[in-house]
Amino acid sequence: MTPAVCRSCGHGNLDLVLSLGRTPLANALLTKEQLDQPEETYPLDLVFCSACALVQITETVPPEQLFSHYLYFTSFSDTMVQYAKELAARVVESRRLGPESLVVELASNDGYLLQFYRDAGIPVLGIEPATNIAEEARKRGIPTLDRFFGTELAGELVAEGTRADVMHANNVLAHVADLNGFVAGIAQVLKPDGVAIIEVPYVRTMLEALEFDTIYHEHLCYFSLIALQALFLRHGLRAVDVEQLPIHGGSLRLFVQSRGEPSAAVRIMLDEERAGGMDGVEFYSRFGERVESLREELRTMLDDLKRSDKKLAAYGASAKGSTLLNYMGIGRETLDFVVDRSTVKQGLYTPGTHLPILAPEAVLDHRPDYLLLLVWNLTSEVLRQQEKYRAQGGKFIIPVPEPKVV
């Protein structure tokens, strides 16, 4: 279903920024038996709203189809777990949380973050729509509701007296079709002096670093602070502070409250975005041209290596990898396989390109000359894990913002 209007403000006449064609769902991994069956594909077009500056895709795949059974477990990333541990410790101290407090996380995954609050003696509640992941969280001792969050669930929580001192929403706002219902729900559940800590990939970094592969059907929106502040203010909230983070290729961490004035960091970033033209379509218009150039450059590099009888594989059966491989038309004619640490992905096949997903041990077993790094956001972690492969002469190709060999 293609929205005729902006997901946030309802404005029409959205401007096309980039078309990645029709692609399968990025996390719709296949079993061997499914390889001969037709795959559903959907348009993947990026547009800009001139009224509120929100960058978004046009297609909305039903969230039940995307998230009710999910194969991304955050705990498989050492980087993400350490990051969560440090964040929880900081929030416990800065907000002076104790046994009478409550921390709620929206899209809480397998409890990777809430476990650290629980271990500090803070009551927690996870809300995770993927039933398989919610069950894993409960096995870890994290109380978890397997529900989609919005005004309906928020009303139920408030009616039973559940109000949060801290609400986390890490990398979920971009996945939400009903942006206004989601933010309105946060406003309901948050205590008057509470804080919502919301993290989103930053659209400015996405464009400047050419991170086009972060565009897929689960990511409906790509946020600037301009667009976010307009969304929050509509529901009686505001970003009172903001931090830029390197994680996920460049993210914003927002501290959102119903009270308080925006910090100097918020005011400066809003001024910088406006001065840079991020409230106008011209800022985004060259993105498509640069992505097309990158496709030609990477395909040429891989084709030259294949002609030189080099063995090629990939590292990371990620959603961003699915976008890159399908848009660029890179499949089994080029890559022998892809490896991934996630045991729930091993034995399956990548959507559209049908690469077998193997355990990381396959790298040393098969010894490809080059690994195309599809999880470039975890470059340091992967290079560290694959020191033995590199010591034996193996090389990685990092595809964005321009192909380079390490």
- State yes or no: pLDDT of 76 exceeds 90: no
CA distances from 8 to 23, 64, 150, 297, 323 (A): 25, 21, 15, 36, 25
Per residue in 154-173, pLDDT tens?
999 999 999 999 999 999 99
Q: What pLDDT is stored for residue 358 in this prediction?
A: 98
| Whether the predicted pLDDT of 68 surpasses 70 | no
CATH class, 66-285 region: alpha beta
User: Measuring CA to CA, which residue among 294, 286, 327, 324 is closest to residue 404?
Assistant: 294
CA distance 243 to 257: 15
- How distant, in Å, are the alpha carbons of 8, 223, 244, 256, 271 from that of 264? 25, 20, 14, 15, 10
Fold of 300-405: Rossmann fold (3.40.50)
The percentage of residues in the chain with a pLDDT greater than 70, rounded to a whole number, is 96
Mean residue pLDDT of the chain comes to 93
Residues in the chain: 406
Confidence of residue 70 (pLDDT cuts 50, 70, 90): low
Stretch 49-53: mean pLDDT, rounded? 96
Residue 72 pLDDT: 56
pLDDT band at 259 (very low <50, low <70, confident <90, very high): very high
Domain boundaries, the chain: 66-285, 300-405
Which pLDDT score, from 0 to 100, does residue 88 have? 96
Question: 235 pLDDT band (50/70/90 cuts)?
Answer: very high
Does the pLDDT at position 56 exceed 60?
yes
Closest CA to 15 of 401, 288, 295, 340: 288
Cα separation, 130 vs 146, whole angstroms: 6
The pLDDT of residue 248 is above 90: no
Determine the pLDDT at residue 1.
43
pLDDT of residue 67: 59
Segment 343-364 shows an average pLDDT of: 97
Q: What is the pLDDT of residues 85-144, one digit of tens each?
A: 999 999 999 999 999 999 999 999 999 999 999 999 999 999 999 888 999 999 999 999
**C-alpha pair distances (Å), 379 with each of 81, 316, 333, 373, 382:** 16, 11, 25, 8, 5
pLDDT band, residue 364 (cuts 50/70/90): very high
Torsion of CA 106, 182, 240, 48, to 10 degrees: 120
**CA end-to-end span of the chain, whole Å?**
42
Fold agreement (66-285, 300-405): yes
Residue 2 pLDDT more than 80?
A: no
Q: What is the pLDDT of residue 25?
A: 93
CA-angle at 140, arms to 136 and 146, nearest 5°? 45
Predicted pLDDT at 247: 77
What pLDDT is attached to residue 156? 98
